[in-house]
């Protein structure tokens, strides 16, 4: 089948096979723009002219991490220079700051501290809920859930139940990276394997705890690996409907061990960024939302990716040492007014949302 026919069939409702998605992901030349245009049509059909964002605050807990993934410039071993571990007082000070800024979501970002236990995570959730009542505490990846469950000798379901009882709102769909174990062995060998990640996500969704789904790409995996990952996410979504959105995270390479050792490329190219978003939009016919991570791709690329199937700008963030430490510039905060400028330039409408995509008010006027 020629590419134009495949794209028009897909816009009309054909469910792409993994083989077809791989073909699209590998396209070079101007056909990449035709794929982006088809994805943009599907986006319009699914969510109209809305581009959403959430007023949120990242909250760094510790940069001490047992995993030391090769693609990460943030996690450090215990005792390394520049390490920190914030206690209750500092966590609550930052959470209160978030509440004063009117955030609806607080998103702790943390290394997986080797000393953490189930109680460390439930305490963190309840400290934040106490200091910022009413916010969605969007926290804990399947990796963190499985790590502390194994340490305590309890089931991952029990950990999820205890987190929910402490006030967890939604689960972070992070630590997915690429859900292909051969790739994980290279980029994050100490993290949980693919089967564990998928099991914990299914358990959470089955309990009514929704989550994001992430993909961290551009660290040397193949187009086939990216599609395998998307196919696993699509399968889970068919079963549970529990993913709120796909969050594509392009590899920020500069200050990471893998890149410095010559074992990873200098991140994804612009073509790969464009096609990841576009093919994800076309392939994930059971996801409503595809996000652009402005802190990783930069504000100009955001415009292009919003024309290639994306419909969400993620959060205002206020702090993101994970991207900054890996070498991303200007990753810490995006003013909704700056988002509105990008969005209105495309003839679209910026709308604030909650973590689970309930729509809130319209944003401030474009300052330009
Ligand atoms: S990606 Fe997460 S788990 Fe891996 S080293 Fe960085 S902070 Fe630790």
Which CATH number is 247's domain given?
Answer: 3.20.20.70
Dmax over CA atoms of the chain, in Å, equals: 61
Q: Ligand 1 centre and the CA of 131: distance in Å?
A: 26
Instruction: Tell which one of 62, 63, 67 to mutate to probe ligand 1, the residue whose CB is within 8 A of the most ligand atoms.
Output: 67
Cβ of 65 below 6 Å from ligand 1: yes
Q: Which atom of ligand 1 is nearest to the CA of 72?
A: 6
Residue 6 forms part of a structural domain? no
Cβ of 74 below 6 Å from ligand 1: yes
Cβ of 72 below 6 Å from ligand 1: yes
Q: From CA 352, how far away is CA 167, in angstroms rounded?
A: 23
Residue 307: per-residue pLDDT? 98
Residue 4 forms part of a structural domain? no
Query: What's the structural domain count of the chain?
Result: 1
Residue 362 forms part of a structural domain? no
Range of 119's domain? 18-353
Residue 111 forms part of a structural domain? yes
Residue 364 forms part of a structural domain? no
Residue 73 forms part of a structural domain? yes
Residue 334: per-residue pLDDT? 84
Cβ of 68 below 6 Å from ligand 1: yes
pTM of the entire structure? 0.94
Cβ of 69 below 6 Å from ligand 1: yes
Cβ of 112 below 6 Å from ligand 1: yes
Q: Which atom of ligand 1 is nearest to the CA of 110?
A: 7
Residue 362: per-residue pLDDT? 59
Q: Which residues of the chain have pLDDT under 50?
A: 365-368
Q: Ligand 1 centre and the CA of 253: distance in Å?
A: 14
Q: Whose CA is nearest to atom 2 of ligand 1?
A: 111
Q: Ligand 1 centre and the CA of 75: distance in Å?
A: 5
Residue 365 forms part of a structural domain? no
| Assigned token pair, 111 | 């290394």
Q: Ligand 1 centre and the CA of 11: distance in Å?
A: 37
**HSE of 184 in the Cβ direction (CA atoms, 13 Å)?**
20
Q: Whose CA is nearest to atom 7 of ligand 1?
A: 111
Cβ of 83 below 6 Å from ligand 1: no
Residue 119 forms part of a structural domain? yes
């Amino acid at each position: 089948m020629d590419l134009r026919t495949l794209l028009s069939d897909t816009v009309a409702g054909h469910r792409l096979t993994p083989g077809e998605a791989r073909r699209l992901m590998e396209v070079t030349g101007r056909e990449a723009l035709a794929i982006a245009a088809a994805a943009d049509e599907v986006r319009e059909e699914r969510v109209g002219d809305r581009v959403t964002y959430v007023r949120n605050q990242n909250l760094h807990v510790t940069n001490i991490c047992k995993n030391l993934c090769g693609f990460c410039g943030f996690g450090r071993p215990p005792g390394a220079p520049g390490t920190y571990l914030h206690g209750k007082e500092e966590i609550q000070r930052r959470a209160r700051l978030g509440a004063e800024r009117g955030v609806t979501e607080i998103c702790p970002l943390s290394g997986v501290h080797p000393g953490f236990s189930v109680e460390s995570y439930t305490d963190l959730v309840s400290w934040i809920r106490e200091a910022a009542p009413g916010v969605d505490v969007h926290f804990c990846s399947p990796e963190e859930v499985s790590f502390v469950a194994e340490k305590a000798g309890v089931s991952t379901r029990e950990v999820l139940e205890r987190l929910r009882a402490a006030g967890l709102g939604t689960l972070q769909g992070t630590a997915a990276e690429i859900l292909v174990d051969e790739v994980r062995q290279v980029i994050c060998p100490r993290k949980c394997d693919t089967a564990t990640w998928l099991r914990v996500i299914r358990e959470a969704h089955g309990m009514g705890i929704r989550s994001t789904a992430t993909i961290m790409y551009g660290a040397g995996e193949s187009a086939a690996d990216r599609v395998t990952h998307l196919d696993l996410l699509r399968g889970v979504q068919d079963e549970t409907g529990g993913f709120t959105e796909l969050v594509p995270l392009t590899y920020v390479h500069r200050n990471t061990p893998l890149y410095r050792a010559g074992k990873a490329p200098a991140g994804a190219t612009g073509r790969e960024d464009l096609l990841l978003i576009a093919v994800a939009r076309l392939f994930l016919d059971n996801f409503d939302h595809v996000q652009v991570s402005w802190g990783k791709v930069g504000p100009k690329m955001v415009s292009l990716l919003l024309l290639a199937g994306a419909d969400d700008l993620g959060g205002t963030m206020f702090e993101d040492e994970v991207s900054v430490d890996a070498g991303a510039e200007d990753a810490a905060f995006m003013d909704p007014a700056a988002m509105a400028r990008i969005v209105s330039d495309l003839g679209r409408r910026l709308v604030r949302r909650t973590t689970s995509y309930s729509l809130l008010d319209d944003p401030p006027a474009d300052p330009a």
